[in-house]
Chains A and B, each alone.
Chain A
Amino acid sequence: MRLVLDHLTACHPFWSLVANGVFSPGVHLVSGDVGSGKSTLALMMAGLLTPESGTVIRESIPQMMLSFQFPEFHITGLSVAEECRSWNLDPDAVIRSAGIDVAKETPSLSLSRGELKRLHLACVLARDYDLLLLDEPFSSLDCPGKEWVCRQMNKRAGGITVIFTHEQSIFPDIDHIWEIVGGELADCGDMPGAVVHWQHAPPLVKKLICTGRSPLALTPEGIREAACRTRG
């Protein structure tokens, strides 16, 4: 199973993106500045947007899911229950998994954005996909919600997970880091070596690297281990 980006290009009047790379099973992190093309790349990976040139090859990936940056774009059910049933899921189980305190009859779009994101992610993460593309999965989530999403991602057995995010603090166990720099997808490499090449590393990670304590993992435990490590 792998996802191959073969000389992929996207051209807009105001920016362009070139992407080459092979995504193997594991958790991949893609970062980049605002407007650098992360969501466009996610759409191309999912086959929802035709690239200007190049090819996206999905090998042995029969099942795939793209979670949009804005949870409101996914909503098709008027109520929470209808929304869950549209995913063929039991509303009670989804509400419990999402950790939200709402009635099933609550109109979907009356939820707070964080609750809506939790509901949406609970629906997405209720099933296993060979390729799971998550565009800003942490936006609007509170800290316990981010930790819950990380636990779900860490539990995924096999499959390729690609996270496009600006998150600065709470990450799952990342295997590989990519970033968009100067209109090009750059491969920072596998963890833990990738962090030293990662220009968009969060300030805390950069501080750790500067003090010679490069984290072995981006999880809270990995950051703690690095912070507590004896210098040098």
Chain B
Amino acid sequence: MITFENIRYRLLAIDTLAISPGVTSVIGPNGSGKSTLLKLCAGIAEPDRGTVLVNGRSPRETETGYVNEFPDRNILFSTVTDELASPLRFRHTPCRETDRSVRACAETMGITRLLDRNMQDLSGGEKVLVALAAACISRPRVLILDECDSHLDADRCAWLDAVLRASGAEYVIRCTQQMETAVEGDHLVYIEGGRVLHAGMPTAVFPLLADTPFYPLSWRWPV
């Protein structure tokens, strides 16, 4: 369980929140604190008050993969291969094992054709796919994706769901503005003004948003 207790950080004010293993979608208006919540989960930021724990440990003691909402802010190296290999090289993984893992990960993520490319020559969606692969390559316990799907086409989004399920991550926490994507998750957290207004299964939370634009069109008008 990922637990938040008495959190005060920037605009976030969360008295208590528990996130179970599985795929959790975080939704809410722009500027409501979704990305800030994800940064606390990842240990990129620490709260001014309160505690965040991942299975009882600090997020900074937990293997975590993270994809930033600004695609260019994920990029550290000039080539796709170096970018993908970087999490393994930082932990001194032997070169041969790193090469093997890079090829295997690229194949799983469907980006083998990009391996020889320069990062700056990639499209927005391709940059996101490489960042996602780099986040997954060390098989983290927690995988955090900040609006990865905003640069992906429908087929890629559907495929992304399958990849996330197969990633081996115990927790996948993602922000999304695609409600049809949020429907497919195991859990849903709705944030507004820095506060968690609703949390639970999508089937429990979305009906509470029925009068808002956040209610999925496919539920509003079932086909």
Which residue numbers of A lie inside 8 Å of B, CB to CB? 12, 14, 31-35, 38-39, 69-70, 72, 100-102, 111-115, 117-118, 136, 138-147, 166, 168-170, 200, 202-204, 207-208, 211, 213, 220, 223-224, 227-228
Contact = CB atoms under 8 A, between A and B. Distances in A.
Bin the interface of chain B by size: 35 or more
B29 A142 contact: yes
B117 interface: yes
A231 B217 CA distance: 19
Interface string B118-153: 000111111001000000000000000001001111
Interface stretch (B12-20, B58-66, B68-76, B89-97): B68-76
Interface of B: 28-31, 34-35, 69-72, 113, 117, 121-126, 129, 147, 150-158, 177-180, 212-214, 216-218, 220-223
Contact of B124 (A32, A136, A227): A136
A139 B217 contact: no
12 contacts: A32-B153, A70-B124, A117-B30, A140-B147, A143-B179, A143-B213, A143-B214, A147-B213, A166-B150, A169-B216, A169-B217, A208-B223
Contacts of B152: 34, 166
Given A114-B30, A114-B31, A168-B157, A144 B213 contact: yes
Given A140-B30, A204-B223, A113 B70 contact: yes
State the 7 A-B residue pairs at the shortest beta-carbon distance, nearest first: A114-B30, A34-B125, A227-B221, A143-B213, A139-B150, A207-B223, A113-B69
A100 B31 CA distance: 8
A168 B178 contact: yes
Contacts of B30: 100, 112, 114-115, 117-118, 140-142, 145
Nearest to A38: B123
A151 to B, nearest CB: 12
B151 A112 contact: no
B178 to A, nearest CB: 6
Contacts of A111: 31
Nearest to B146: A113
Highest count of chain A CB atoms <10 Å: which of B150, B151, B156, B179: B150
B154 A166 contact: yes
Given A169-B217, A224-B220, A203 B126 contact: no
A32 B153 CA distance: 7
B151 A69 contact: yes
A99 to B, nearest CB: 8
Contacts of B179: 143, 169
Contacts of B214: 142-143
Contacts of A138: 150, 177
A112 B223 contact: no
Contacts of A100: 30-31
Nearest to A118: B30
Contacts of B178: 168-169
Given A39-B124, A141-B177, A204-B180, A224 B29 contact: no
A38 B123 CA distance: 9
A125 to B, nearest CB: 16
A184 B2 CA distance: 47
B153 A31 contact: yes
A32 B126 CA distance: 13
Nearest to A98: B30
B70 A227 contact: no
A72 B72 contact: yes
A14 B113 contact: yes
A115 B216 CA distance: 22
Contacts of B220: 224
A49 to B, nearest CB: 13
Given A70-B71, A200-B154, A228 B221 contact: yes
Contacts of B157: 168
Nearest to A68: B124
B112 to A, nearest CB: 12
A34 B153 contact: yes
Contacts of A147: 213
B79 to A, nearest CB: 13
Contacts of B147: 113, 139-140
